[in-house]
Amino acid sequence: MELTVYLAGQIHDDWREQLIQKAKEKKLPLHFVSPQTNHDKSDDIGEEILGEQPNQFFRDDAASSINNLRTQVLMQKSDVVIALFGEKYKQWNTAMDASAAITMNKPTIIVRPESLIHPLKELSNKANVTVETIEQALEVLAYIFE
C-alpha cells in the first residue's frame, strides 16, 4: 500500500525537498504531491496562460484560479495532507488548504513553530495532529506503516 501525501504550505524554502529526501532514506512507500513551489512561476502562471490582465487584482486572480485547480486535483488524489506554517509569511492559502482537507475528511498534520501556537490554535485543534518539525511529521507518516 502506497500513500499519496499532499504537502501544503509555504513555498519560500526547501522544506518539501528535505521531507521527501528523509522519506526516501526511510524507504517509506510515500508519493508526494505539492503546489507549484517556484514562487515566480506560481504568481505568473495566470498571465502566462491567459495573457496580460488589466491590473494586479486580476493578475492575482488569474494565477489563483490555476493554482487552485492544481491543488484541487492533487488533494483529491491524496490520502494524507501535511500543512506547514513558517514564521515569516501570512500563508492564508495554507490555512485554506488545511481547512479544506479537514472538511473533506483527509487526515491532516499541521507543522508549525512554537511561536505560532496562539494564531493557529483553532486550526491545530481541528487537525488530526500538530507537530513542530518535518521530522515529526514524517514520524507520524512512518507510524502508519509500522
Neighbours of 42 (CB within 10 A): 17
Q: Write down the least CB distance from residue 27 to a second copy, Å.
A: 18
How far apart CA 78 and CA 121 sit, in angstroms, is 25
The minimum distance between CB 5 and a second copy, in angstroms, equals: 10
* Least separation in angstroms between CB 15 and a second copy: 18
**Residue placing its CB nearer to a second copy in the complex, 15 or 109:** 109
Closest approach, Cβ 64 to a second copy, in A, equals 4
Please say which residue, 25 or 143, places its beta carbon nearer to a second copy.
Answer: 143
CB of 25 to a second copy, least distance (A): 18
The set of cell numbers assigned to 123 is 486550526
Question: Phi and psi dihedrals of 130, rounded to 5?
Answer: -120, 130
